[in-house]
Amino acid sequence: MERSRTVKRKLFCAAVGWLSGIAFCALAPFQYVIIAAAGIFFPAAAFSLFKKPYRPPLAAAAIVSAAVMLSAARVGWYEKHIVAPLKECSGSEIVMRGITDVSDKSFTLRGRVQSNGIMTTVTFDRSGCDIACGDSAEVICEVSTPQKTLTFDSEEYDRTSGVFLECSGVPAVRLLNKPRAPIIGAFKRLRDYSIGNIRQRLPDQDGAFLTAILCSDKSALTAESSSAVYRSGLGHLFAVSGTHVVILCSFIGIFLDLLFCPSRVRSVVMILFCVSFMVFSGCSPSVVRAGLMMSLYEAGGLFNRQNDSPTALGLAAILITARCPYAMFSLSFMLSFTAAFAIGSAAPAICRRRISDPTARKAAAVMTVNALTAPICAWRFSELSLIAAASNLVMIPLCSVCLWLCFLYMLTGCTLTPLLAAAGLAARVILKICTMISASRLSFAGTYFRPQMIYVAVIAAVVFAVCALIRGRRKTVILAVVSAYALLMAGWFVCDRLPKSDSLTVYPSKYGYTAVVERGSEVLIFDSGGFYSNAYAAARLTERRHPERVFVYTPKDNEKAYTRYREVMSGISDFCCPARPEGINRSGGCDFAKFNDRDLTATVHGSRLIFDKKGFTLDGRRYEYHKFSDISTFYLK
């Protein structure tokens, strides 16, 4: 048994080294990483053969350093043979053949570039193309590398999915005779049919919630509903992930137990379901990770082998990042693997024999997940839930029932409407509870003081990690864990309530600019020529401040921008709409600003600001928007 345990931990050490090598390559050339890792590997491997008292740590060091060398070599090969040839195609016309995946307004082609034979993925405009999921097609188009803007780095975002080209013109599409992926097309068509059927039968927000948790399609959710769920700490339900795999696998397991299914047949059915669900959900890193771990768990039953969570997690990490090393830097990967490590390894280590009550163990697991993912959330999100642990303990059972009913309805071919009605009722209850919870200002916090919140999160995560390593000391560990989690929530709450500086932030764009004035608990947004290109960035800035009221002003001829801002701002705070007709405020205008269709005048701490289409004036000094090359912030004192 001891020998088996040693073998299992070797794969986990290899995964640690593999991911470390990819991370090091982001900081230094891969050649330097290989040389440094080799300097550790050869002495460790040599001494591990002779120094018996130190053999285990030296063997672990050798495994980690060897994995670092392999992953660095993989990154170098990937850059030379995949990334560089694809980027060389930028600005030219390419011919691609592959399999299509269709959405509402676009389709994605995953296939091979005919000129260099490299497999890649490119998204095209669907208008005028009669294409279905799983079709085999040939596309001729002009491509370019993803663009980096002031408010969104598309190149860095897309590279985590292995995408290095985007369509820059109108594609010419030709369907080929034989579809090469009928199974994938069937799963995609089932997904689209389920979404359309659910929305047709439940057109309100309950149906939108069901399609969001089943298929990760949030397009029909209003900003208010989405914000309420995220502020309640249940936002992970919208990203089809390991939670869905566990819930649905438990449902399948209960069903197979009722049929008295043999254990080996049960394992095969569960593996097939995991693979099918990965294809159905689009193979996101979180779903692939959970599907692989569950498949390995069931495969252990086939061969009478004991399952080990760190081993399964390590193998899943290596397999996902072997195809595209940059997948490691995606938010989905980081949150998914951190949460899986917390619930599969850290939480059981903290509980051990110290906590035996099932409810207390679930609470410890939820707190561990929240604590270890807290630094990532504080770093990447503009809002943080302060009641995530309590809401997950209370709401996840109801959400599981809702997901079971919706999934069973889909399996019956969307014919048993009572199942959908029951799922819709559960969805309405969940949304109602989330709305009531998020109405309280105590339930969530903005990340205006992001560095301080990250420091607090890191301290809490370190305490939980140390408690997972400590053996014995039951009362000390329990007290430390509870105190660290209380410190995390209290620290975030205090940071959100600290006085915030009043400021003016300018987002320049191609045809104009967007100005965001932050004054106390109010935010004023003036968009002139930026249209809705800066709406997302302005919304994240507004969430970060956690205001009570938001005012949006746009020139009279910019109706699309005003509509878009209303969409993204609703749900953030008590939104006021001081707009037309003819520049007259319709409902409660801003008391420190005046608007006359074209110009906006505001006064903050004696500083007079005048905004118009070409720029703005601050205390008599004129600033033209075309002179701004980056996002700029002026502090108003």
pLDDT tens-digit readout, 186-199: 767 777 788 888 88
Using a 10 angstrom Cβ sphere, with 0-12 exposed, 13-18 middle and 19 or more buried, the burial of residue 299 is: middle
The Cα–Cα gap between 19 and 594 comes to 54
What CATH number is given to the structural domain containing 98? Answer: 2.40.50
State whether 386 and 533 are in the same domain: no
The Cα–Cα gap between 529 and 613 comes to 7
Dihedral over Cα of 455, 348, 246, 234: its sign: negative
In the three-class reduction of DSSP (H, G, I as helix; E, B as strand; rest coil), residue 356 is classed as: coil
- Residue 51's pLDDT is what? 60
**DSSP code of residue 570:** B
Can you list the alpha helix ranges (DSSP code H) found in 49-88? Answer: 55-78, 84-88
Cβ–Cβ < 8 Å for 583, 557: no
The Cα–Cα gap between 146 and 623 comes to 30
Cβ–Cβ < 8 Å for 526, 514: yes
User: For tokens 């502020």, what's the residue?
Assistant: 231
- Binning pLDDT at 50, 70 and 90, where does residue 579 land? very low
State whether 397 and 264 are in the same domain: yes
State whether 402 and 306 are in the same domain: yes
- Binning pLDDT at 50, 70 and 90, where does residue 23 land? very high
State whether 298 and 341 are in the same domain: yes
The Cα–Cα gap between 478 and 507 comes to 47
- Residue 250's pLDDT is what? 77
Using a 10 angstrom Cβ sphere, with 0-12 exposed, 13-18 middle and 19 or more buried, the burial of residue 513 is: buried
Cβ–Cβ < 8 Å for 231, 385: yes
**DSSP code of residue 269:** H
- Binning pLDDT at 50, 70 and 90, where does residue 236 land? confident
Is 28 a domain residue? yes
Is 486 a domain residue? no
State whether 133 and 231 are in the same domain: no
User: For tokens 């939480």, what's the residue?
Assistant: 347
Is 485 a domain residue? no
- Tens digit of pLDDT for each residue in 592-616? 888 876 788 888 888 889 998 888 9
Using a 10 angstrom Cβ sphere, with 0-12 exposed, 13-18 middle and 19 or more buried, the burial of residue 84 is: exposed
Helix (H) or strand (E) holding 332: helix 331-341
- Residue 489's pLDDT is what? 95
State whether 193 and 105 are in the same domain: no
Cβ–Cβ < 8 Å for 578, 553: yes
The domain boundary residue, chosen from 164, 180, 196: 180
State whether 65 and 98 are in the same domain: no
The total number of structural domains that make up the chain = 4
Is 612 a domain residue? yes
Average pLDDT over the chain, rounded to an integer: 83
- Binning pLDDT at 50, 70 and 90, where does residue 531 land? low
Point out the least confidently predicted range of 155-169, 241-255, 567-581: 567-581
Single-letter residue type at 335: L
- Tens digit of pLDDT for each residue in 120-159? 888 887 776 777 777 788 888 888 888 888 778 888 888 8
Comparing C-alpha atoms, which of 425, 456, 242, 257 is closest to residue 332?
Answer: 242
Higher pLDDT, 20 or 215: 20
State whether 64 and 103 are in the same domain: no
The Cα–Cα gap between 90 and 143 comes to 5
191: tokens are 């997904």
Go through 551-581 and write b for each residue having 16 or more CB atoms within 10 A of its CB, e for each that does not: bbbbbeebeebbebbbebbbbbbebbbbbee
Which structural domain range is residue 35 located in? 2-87
The Cα–Cα gap between 184 and 98 comes to 13
Is 474 a domain residue? no
State whether 34 and 94 are in the same domain: no
How many residues appear in the chain?
Answer: 637
The Cα–Cα gap between 449 and 380 comes to 13
State whether 411 and 547 are in the same domain: no
Helix (H) or strand (E) holding 373: helix 358-380
Is 473 a domain residue? no
How far, rounded to the nearest angstrom, does the alpha carbon of residue 129 sit from its chain's CA centroid? 30
The Cα–Cα gap between 304 and 299 comes to 8
Is 463 a domain residue? no
Cβ–Cβ < 8 Å for 142, 169: yes
Rounded to 10 degrees, the C-alpha dihedral 577/578/584/589 comes to 130
- Binning pLDDT at 50, 70 and 90, where does residue 300 land? low
State whether 74 and 59 are in the same domain: yes
- Residue 184's pLDDT is what? 65
Dihedral over Cα of 569, 570, 571, 574: its sign: positive
State whether 32 and 94 are in the same domain: no
Calculate the alpha carbon distances from 621 to 20, 526, 535, 616, 618 in Å.
50, 18, 26, 8, 5
The domain boundary residue, chosen from 153, 180, 207: 180
The domain boundary residue, chosen from 58, 87, 116: 87
Point out the least confidently predicted range of 108-112, 261-265, 394-398: 261-265
**Which residues are CB-contacts of 348 (< 8 A; sequence separation ≥ 6)?**
none
Is 134 a domain residue? yes
The Cα–Cα gap between 504 and 517 comes to 5
Helix axes 331-341, 242-258, angle to 10 degrees: 50
